[in-house]
């Protein structure tokens, strides 16, 4: 059995090493975590290194990327109207990407401008909220509007909430102006 002096010396050494590591970490610029590795502890035990940030997400990065892409695609289609296009043709482009509830709401309140041609192009995306069953992304669209009076361009932001659908992946559940809702 080690002596009390030896135990005290070991504890002091461990504390000093911990303080040195903490100081070093505070002074060293942030770096990406190392790749997962096995570290031997004792004779037979092994401890897995801390996983990357992706392991902390409630949704895999690939699924998250798919949701963001669908949100951007839906938003671009949402703001794009062609001269002479009927509301039902516009809705037909959106409905495969939307939940039944959103499709019904869009059918009742189609934002329609028959005298204008509008086209939207995605310029930015950002995640606003993320849960295991839904994600809200903000999408900035550069919208070009052509009317008989000429052409104008503006950037418009939307918050798009997508929900996981059994067997089909994601569907758009809601779309609002970025400042009006969908805060998470």
Q: What is the CATH number of domain 58-177?
A: 3.10.450.230
Strand (E) positions, the chain? Answer: 38-41, 45-48, 117-130, 134-147, 150-165, 169-177
pLDDT confidence of residue 184: 52
Q: In the chain, where are the structural domains located?
A: 4-54, 58-177
Q: Which residues of the chain have pLDDT under 70?
A: 1-51, 111-115, 181-184
Q: What is the structure's pLDDT at 11?
A: 35
pTM exceeds cut of 0.75: no
Among 131, 153, 155, residue whose Cα is nearest residue 141: 155
CA-to-CA distance for 173 and 102, rounded, in angstroms? 6
Q: Say if residues 135 and 156 touch (Cβ distance below 8 Å).
A: no
For residue range 134-145, what is the model confidence (pLDDT) as tens digits? 999 999 998 888
């Amino acid at each position: 059995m080690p002596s009390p002096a030896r135990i005290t010396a070991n504890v002091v050494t461990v504390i000093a090493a911990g303080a040195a590591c903490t100081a070093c970490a505070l002074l060293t610029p942030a770096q990406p975590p190392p790749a997962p590795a096995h570290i031997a502890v004792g004779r037979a035990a092994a401890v897995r290194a801390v996983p990357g940030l992706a392991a902390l997400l409630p949704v895999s990065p690939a699924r998250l990327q798919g949701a963001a892409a669908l949100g951007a695609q839906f938003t671009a289609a949402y703001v794009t109207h062609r001269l002479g296009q009927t509301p039902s043709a516009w809705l037909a482009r959106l409905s495969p990407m939307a939940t039944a509830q959103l499709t019904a709401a869009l059918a009742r309140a189609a934002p329609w401008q028959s005298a204008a041609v509008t086209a939207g192009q995605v310029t930015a995306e950002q995640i606003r909220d993320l849960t295991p069953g839904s994600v809200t992304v903000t999408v900035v669209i550069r919208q070009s509007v052509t009317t008989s009076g000429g052409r104008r361009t503006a950037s418009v932001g939307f918050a798009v909430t997508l929900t996981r659908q059994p067997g089909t992946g994601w569907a758009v559940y809601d779309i609002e102006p970025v400042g009006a809702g969908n805060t998470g």
